Amino acid sequence: MKKITLIILMLMTLLNAEAQNNKTLNKRQQSIVCIAALTAKGKLPELKSALHEGLDAGMTVNEIKEMMIHLYAYCGFPRSLNGINTFITVMDERKAKGIKDPEGMDPTSVVSSNKYALGKNTLDQLTGRVASGPPKGYAAFVPAIDTMLKEHLFADIFGRGVLTSQERELTTVSALVSLGGVESQLSGHLGIAMHTGLSREQLQEMFTIQEIKIGKSEADAGRAVLTRIGTGQQ
């Protein structure tokens, strides 16, 4: 009986620790928020510092490269390429100081005879619901963009690995908050972010970081979207 009680107490301790950990962003997640936000906003001097901090926090070279690849789908090639060029400068500076950063795992290539179905399945898993029925909205009005989203974004890009789905969603929501004016898309991705395991407390911390790094108006707009999700007023 004592053994059973001890096991229960140990399990409760682990669960409480896990719950506590889910209330705050760790150093790595904080770096993801900063790098994504500053890349999307084009604040390159600040991005340079954030990239140094991300590497110091344990991010690998390939993880940051993957963030830049992921971000082009949300903030465009110009911002992504500027971020990559800033990262090159950071790497050159660190090598000159004798700092050897870990490369990390290599990305994988997606091989599929039906990338649309693969991408749709990935999106269904991210949202936690299976989309069915005929296309609606933008997908019906411009079918090509729906195909590109499924085949390229959710198959080719998400299928590269290196970053987890949660890390990709944290990257996405941070970029969308920084961009501003995309509340509809932000609402959807905040829902996905929470489905991947990010808590409301962690997302609120993201807005605090955004307020410091980007601006209060952008952070407040993001907070308002999260509040509407909580009240069902999406």
Grouping H, G, I as helix, E, B as strand and the rest as coil, residue 21 is helix
CB 151 within 8 A of CB 122: no
CA of residue 220 relative to chain centroid, distance? 19
Q: Which residues of 7-16 are buried (b: 16+ CB within 10 A; e: fewer)?
A: eeeeeeeeee
Q: How far is CA 97 from the centre of its chain?
A: 30
Please give the angle made by the CA atoms of 149, 155 and 160, to the nearest 5 degrees: 125
Residue 175: CB atoms within 10 A of its CB come to: 27
CA distances from 175 to 14, 31, 71, 87 (A): 33, 13, 8, 17
Tokens of 127: 């949202």
How far is it, in rounded angstroms, from Cα 124 to Cα 130? 5
Per-residue pLDDT of the chain (234 residues; tens, 9 = 90+): 444 434 433 443 443 444 446 789 999 999 999 999 999 999 999 999 999 999 999 999 999 999 999 999 999 999 999 999 999 999 999 999 999 999 999 999 888 889 999 999 999 999 888 877 788 888 899 999 999 999 999 999 999 999 999 999 999 999 999 999 999 999 999 999 999 999 999 999 999 999 999 999 999 999 999 999 865 444
Hey, is 97 helix, strand or coil? coil
